[in-house]
Amino acid sequence: MPVEFRKDLFANERDDTLKEIGQPRIRQDILGHVSGRSPYYDDHLFEGLLHMRCVRSPHHHARIRHIDAGAAERMPGVVRVVWPADVPHNINTLLSLINFGRDDEALLQPSRVTYIGEPVLAIIAKTEREAREAAAAVRVDWEPLPHVLDVEEALKPDAPTVNGEYPNNTFDYHDLYDHQKLRFGDVEKGFREADHIVEGEYRMSPIEQAPIETCGAIAAPETNDRYVCHTATQGLFFSLAVTAKLLDIASSRLHFIGGTVGGGFGGKVDSITEPMAVLGARLTGQPVKFMWDREEEMQVGAPRGAELWRIKDGVARDGRILARQFTGFFDSGAYTRLSSYAVVKGTGHLPGPYTIPNVASNVYCVFTNRTPATAMRGFGITGVDFAIECQMDKVAEAAGLDPIELRILNAYRDGDMKAHRREAKNCALIECCQVAADKARWPLSPQSRAASSMTEGGVGWRAEIPETVTDQVGRIGERRRQALPSEPGAGAAATGRVAAGMRRDDRSVELPPQVADMAKEQERTGYSGKVDLPDHAAPASVQPAPATPVQRPAAPLPTQPPPPPPPPAGTAPSLPPAAQQRADDPEAAEQARRRAASRFISGTRRRR
Amino acid sequence: MTLTVETYGTLAEANAARRGDSRYLAGGTLVMRDLNYAVPGLSRVLRVSNPPRAIRQQGERLSMDAGVTMADVIESREAAFLAPVARSVGGPAVRNMATVGGNLFAAHPYGDFTAALLALDGEVQFVDGRTQPMEAFLAERDRAPLVASITMRMPRTGEFRFRKVARVKPKGVSVMSIAAWLPGAPMRVSQVRIAFGAMGPTPLRARAAEQVLEGKVLDASGIERALSVATQGLAPVDDALASAWYRNEVAPVHLRRLLLDEEPEP
Ligand SMILES: Cc1cc2nc3c(=O)[nH]c(=O)nc-3n(C[C@H](O)[C@H](O)[C@H](O)COP(=O)(O)OP(=O)(O)OC[C@H]3O[C@@H](n4cnc5c(N)ncnc54)[C@H](O)[C@@H]3O)c2cc1C
């Protein structure tokens, strides 16, 4: 089926000079793939290549009493046994590179394994077969410990601790709570006003990305005291930085070469094979390959994690959703990897693309004795979107409404206030629903057909941040001492109220680029406005806004005067407040308007 | 442990060289995996340089050398009734290598081709000349000598039906496969043989269903009792593809579709 563009819906979005999309172009790498010439990391041949294999935990949770690698060490072909103590800095967390979370995972686990397949030792041998045979000959004296595989079991006070760095089995959010909170309005009030209460529970299993090429890397000593590493990684510099940290080596001594990734889908960012291979090369002075086989890829390759979502909706007779409450659990497995971030990202996505005046959510990043989870396409969003859209169908049924019309009725429109206190822009769900209904010859009512993302949004309550009920339930460690309900607001001895109208980003403006080569390239972005170069910027008139402290959604917000009243329906959207403040200075106002408009340049719809 | 590969001129010689540490390599689609994963205790690979690969008609029966591949079956005129079965095994690369002999030994959930042989009153001929009916062979295949060839009944047009139920199409591994030889179909049937693959440690016959179909017409009422006893004698297990419970639940549904000759699902 040919691609059909509905550019009419986005006519004002940007100058549409796209030359490639929709054209029958040949993928730049496809010739190599079909002719078998694409070079993969494993195609690099090295004289005297050694092979590395891990000894892995057969238990969900166990203490290592003793490891006897004596027999393995004496087996033919074995060059070196690699112990946890051989890893110079044997502790890391992937997102430490952006300062998020605490180091919680060893490259080789020295004392206590917390998932099946966790590596405790590695063998380097002359052939892969010899490495396998030696790994099988290592004797480990395990002391199995009680384990927990279910996110809600893991939150109980007597649950075994999985991750020593997070003894409560939950990632710590903002040094304050054992979950990520989102509070907007008053869901209890919304439930009271509703005609229907619709509740649903949705579960997603872990999903393995299943690349055809399993994760792997080959490292070899290079001249100048460097190591070259050919890898299948999806994030070359990410893997390089992780390797530098774990091996305590200057990144300038690491020469990483990526290239063809034989299928990644999020499963090749965790950067485990690269530090292992470089460590092997460093310990032996020879080229070393560390490659997962298919079973390892399935068992220890980090999947998209399991998720559990409970949604409770309060729905008016006409189908308007008045309140929506989420309780979500991301199963992070035994270590953090990237799940902590998936929770934040998922929360930013709530309550789905719908304008709902009262929203509350508690989302937990939970440690269990399962394979650590990581990224996969639509990471952090796919699971909750599945839950939300199933729930929308359920709501439609409860309210006796057509499921597409229900979506159109509740959809974000331009200018609406989202639950995380940002204005909805570039909305197009209504238009997507209309086009999809047409294609499926699905009848729509005249109102639904006439609806538009560009009208009726941002008016009255739709533009406002309502008075918001807060609570302080679920502080870090609280759940260890006593069982607590997991849903928002439940069990709150004290709740607070934050006055309506608190926006946090009213005054942000875009800063001019500091040097010329940071300027946006018109060619690439499709942005057709004037390009700000440093010498164009008038520093005096473009003072950066005073930094507004970033508020945690649930923390008390400072009192501020309410935002200016919304313009009457039908007039052009108002200037961003930053521009309004300088309305007396036309030039500055013009500049601020343009900057505000170009903040996310490729997605900014400019209206006449 | 080093690995040695020993090549022999005939299957009989290879058979004589078999010990606990050795494995005969036919197409290798299963043996190579064990070698790559260094399965303990396997250090000698036995192969025959040019194993026979003939398909011959012998009266009412068809004979196939163990070395016949799935691709050979698909190309053969005499074995045309088995082409859909052979086509259901793996993808083209696997079918080019996978042999009929190797399929006899393939562990659950594999063995789709063997299920068809079981339904078609298959008989195994060993290198020492002995023969054994398929059902008895499957019950003790772990101790069998090398297989030289297999014979089976050639069904009349419309008398043989085969279904493979898989989650991934077209190349998925079986949730189950069903093969049925239905003499007399679609009218009154007699001496029916029904075999299920992936419903036990080896392909198994559904004897209870076979018996109650005796003399029945293959319509909704004629097959009703057979469906109610469809899983008697089967022994499915839980695996990554399906639970035993699920397999038992859906087996009668798939058997119904086969007996009524409904179009398979896309
Ligand atoms: C990707 C993939 C998909 C597959 N899909 C299917 C499928 O859909 N359906 C299915 O049934 N199977 C499937 N298989 C399994 C397998 O390919 C087939 O069962 C095949 O027929 C095995 O034959 P082979 O010649 O490759 O056996 P080999 O691997 O060579 O041998 C398998 C076993 O049989 C023994 N053996 C072989 N020949 C003889 C003989 N003449 N006498 C005694 N012992 C012998 C071997 O010693 C070994 O123990 C699949 C395998 C793979 C890798």
Tens digits of per-residue pLDDT, B210-237? 999 999 999 999 999 999 999 999 999 9
Residue B181 has pLDDT above 60, yes or no: yes
Residues B178 and B250 in one domain: yes
Q: Are residues B79 and B123 in the same domain?
A: yes
Cβ-based neighbour number of residue A16 at 10 Å: 11
- What integer pLDDT is reported at residue A511 of this predicted model? 61
B73 in Cβ contact with B83 (< 8 Å): yes
Q: What is the mean pLDDT of residues A46-70?
A: 98
Question: A19-33, A108-122, A385-399: lowest mean pLDDT where?
Answer: A19-33
pLDDT band at B108 (very low <50, low <70, confident <90, very high): very high
Greater confidence, A599 or A486? A486
Q: If DSSP codes are grouped into helix, strand and coil, which group holds residue A364?
A: strand
Closest by CA to A554, choosing from A506, A488, A507, is: A488
Helix (H, G, I), strand (E, B) or coil at A81: strand
Return d(Cα B253, Cα A289) in angstroms, integer.
Answer: 49
For residue B255, being part of any structural domain is answered with yes
Select the more confidently predicted residue: B33 or A530: B33
User: Is the bond leading into A512 cis (omega within 30 degrees of zero)?
Assistant: no
- Are residues B35 and B108 located together in one domain of the fold? no
For residue A271, is pLDDT > 50?
Answer: yes
Q: Is the dihedral of CA A451, A454, A458, A460 positive or negative?
A: negative
Q: Using only C-alpha atoms, what is the Rg of chain B? A: 19
Domain annotation for chain A: domains and CATH numbers: 42-145+209-299 (3.90.1170.50), 151-207+303-481 (3.30.365.10), 571-608 (no CATH)
CA B101 from centre of chain: 10
C-beta atoms of B38 and A129 within 8 A: yes
CA distance A90 to A84: 7
Element housing A450 (H / E): helix A446-450
Element (H, E) at A122: strand A119-125
CB contact set of B209 (below 8 Å; sequence gap of 6+): B194, B226, B227, B229, B230, B232, B255
Mean pLDDT across B66-90? 97
* Nearest Cβ partner for B40 among A128, A136, A295: A136
Asked if the structure places residue B264 within a domain, the reply is no
Is residue A564 pLDDT above 80, yes or no? no
Give the whole-angstrom CA distance, residue A28 versus residue B136.
Answer: 57
Q: Is A133 on the interface with B (CB under 8 A)?
A: yes
- Which two structure tokens, joined as six digits, stand for A7? 């550019």
Confidence of residue B100 (pLDDT cuts 50, 70, 90): very high
**Selection from B211, B199, B203, B194 nearest residue B259 by Cα:** B194
Output the pLDDT for position A596. Answer: 37
- Residue where one domain finishes, among candidates B153, B182, B204: B153
pLDDT, residue A251, reads: 94
Q: What is residue A8's predicted lDDT score, i.e. its pLDDT?
A: 75
pLDDT of residue A531: 45
Indicate which CATH number applies to the domain containing B144. Answer: 3.30.465.10
| pLDDT score for A587 | 47
Answer whether residue A586 shows pLDDT above 60.
Answer: no
Q: Which tens digits make up the pLDDT trace of A458-477?
A: 999 999 999 999 999 999 99
Neighbours of A265 (CB within 10 A): 17
pLDDT band at A85 (very low <50, low <70, confident <90, very high): very high
- Block residue for tokens 């293959």: B218
| Mean pLDDT in residue range B145-165 | 97
- Per-residue pLDDT at B263: 78
**pLDDT band of A25, cuts 50, 70, 90:** confident
Q: Region A57-79: what's the mean pLDDT?
A: 98
Neighbours of B4 (CB within 10 A): 11
Q: Is residue B61 part of a domain?
A: yes
Lowest mean pLDDT among A216-220, A481-485, B100-104: A481-485
Taking an 8 Å cut-off on Cβ atoms, the answer to whether B1 and A136 are in contact is no
Number of C-beta neighbours around residue A509 at 10 A: 21
What pLDDT sits at residue A519? Answer: 62
Task: Report how far apart, in Å, the C-alpha atoms of A215 and of each of A10, A165, A219, A297 are.
Answer: 41, 27, 14, 7
Residue A518's pLDDT band (boundaries 50, 70, 90)?
low
Answer yes or no: do B137 and B164 share one domain.
no
Pair (B71, B99) in one structural domain:
yes
The mean of the pLDDT values for chain B is 96
Total of domains in chain B: 3
Measured between CA atoms, the residue of chain A closest to residue B38 is: A129
Q: Are residues B147 and B173 in the same domain?
A: no
Q: Which of A329-343, A592-606, B92-106, B198-212 has the lowest mean pLDDT?
A: A592-606
User: 3-state DSSP call for residue A94?
Assistant: helix
Does the residue B266 lie in any domain? no
Positive or negative, the CA dihedral B102, B108, B113, B118 is positive
Q: Is residue B248 part of a domain?
A: yes
Residue A323 has pLDDT above 60, yes or no: yes
- Pick the closest to residue A287 from A62, A108, A46, A73 (CA basis): A46
Write down how long chain A is: 608
| Closest among B163, B194, B177, B181 to B247, alpha carbons compared | B177
Kindly tell me if the per-residue pLDDT of A443 is higher than 50: yes
Q: Identify which has the larger pLDDT, A544 or B224.
A: B224
Secondary element (H or E) of residue A396? helix A382-399
- What value, to the nearest 5°, has the Cα angle with vertex A59 and ends A54 and A81? 25
- Does residue B86 sit in the same domain as residue B131? yes
* B147 within 8 A of B101, measured Cβ to Cβ: yes
Residue B247 is part of a domain; what is its CATH number?
A: 3.30.390.50
Q: Does residue B189 register a pLDDT over 50?
A: yes
Which structure tokens are listed for B121? 């009153």
Ligand 1 in reach of B155 Cβ (< 6 A): no
Inter-chain residue contact A293 with B1, CB threshold 8 Å: no
Distances (CA, A) of A453 to A353, A416, B175: 11, 10, 47
From chain A, pick out residues whose CB is under 8 angstroms from the CB of B39. none
Distance from CA of B110 to the nearest CA of A (A): 18
Atom of ligand 1 nearest to the CA of B99: 25
Minimal Cα distance from A294: which residue of B? Answer: B37
SS (H, E, C) chain B: CCCEEEEECCHHHHHHCCCCCEEECCCCCCHHHHHHCCCCCCCEEEEECCCCCCEEEECCEEEEECCCEHHHHHHCCCCHHHHHHHHCCCCHHHHHHCEHHHHHHCCCCCCHHHHHHHHCCCEEEECCCCEEEHHHHHHCHHHCCCEEEEEEECCCCCCEEEEEEECCCCCCCEEEEEEEECCCCCCECCCCEEEEECCCCCCEECHHHHHHCCCCECCCCCCHHHHHCCCCCCCCCCCCCCCHHHHHHHHHHHHHHHHCCCCCCC
pLDDT above 70 (res A529): no
Identify all chain B residues contacting A133, using CB atoms and an 8 Å cutoff. Answer: 1, 38, 40
pTM of the model: 0.83
Q: Is residue B164 located within the same domain as residue B255?
A: yes
Q: Find the domain containing B227 and state its range.
A: 160-259
| Contacting residues for A236 by C-beta, under 8 A, at least 6 apart | A256, A258
CB A556 within 8 A of CB A470: yes
The interface predicted TM-score of the complex, written ipTM, equals: 0.84
**Whether residue B169 is found in the same domain as residue B140:** no
Q: How far is B32 from chain A (nearest CA, A)?
A: 13
Contacts of A223 (CB under 8 A, 6+ apart): none
The better pLDDT of the pair A58, A502 is held by A58
Burial A288-324 (b: 16+ CB within 10 A, else e): bbbbbbeebbbebbbbbbbbbbbbbbbbeeebbbbbb
Q: Whose CA is nearest to atom 46 of ligand 1?
A: B24
* Calpha distance A470→A362 (Å, rounded): 12
Percent of chain A with pLDDT over 90: 73
Residue A275 reports pLDDT greater than 50:
yes
The per-residue pLDDT for A572 is 38
Q: Which of B109, B136, B153 is the last residue of a domain?
A: B153
Could you tell me if residue B265 is inside a domain? no
Among the residues of A194-331, which ranges form H helices?
236-246, 273-284, 294-299
Residues B98 and B136 in one domain: yes
Residue B36 near chain A (CB below 8 Å):
yes
> In this structure, is residue B198 part of a structural domain?
yes
Nearest to A151 by CA among A341, A299, A369, A326: A369
Handedness of CA A546, A549, A553, A554 (dihedral sign): negative
Task: Tell me what the mean pLDDT of segment A580-599 comes to.
Answer: 39
Residue B138 inside a domain? The answer is: yes
**pLDDT given for residue A19 in this prediction:** 74
**Token duo for residue A77:** 């072909």
Is the predicted pLDDT of residue B199 greater than 90, yes or no? yes
Q: Are residues B60 and B149 located together in one domain of the fold?
A: yes
Q: Which tokens is A415 given?
A: 């200018």
Looking at A15-115, list the stretches that DSSP marks H as alpha helix, in order from N- to C-terminal side: 30-34, 70-73
Is residue A194 predicted with pLDDT exceeding 80? yes
Whose CA is closest to atom 33 on ligand 1? B102
B133 with B65, same domain: the answer is yes
Per-residue pLDDT at A553 exceeds 50: no
State the first-to-last Cα distance of chain A, in angstroms, to the nearest integer. Answer: 34
Closest residue in B to A75 (Cα–Cα): B1
> Which residue's CA is the closest to the ligand 1 atom numbered 36?
B102
Please give the DSSP secondary-structure letter assigned to residue A548. Answer: P
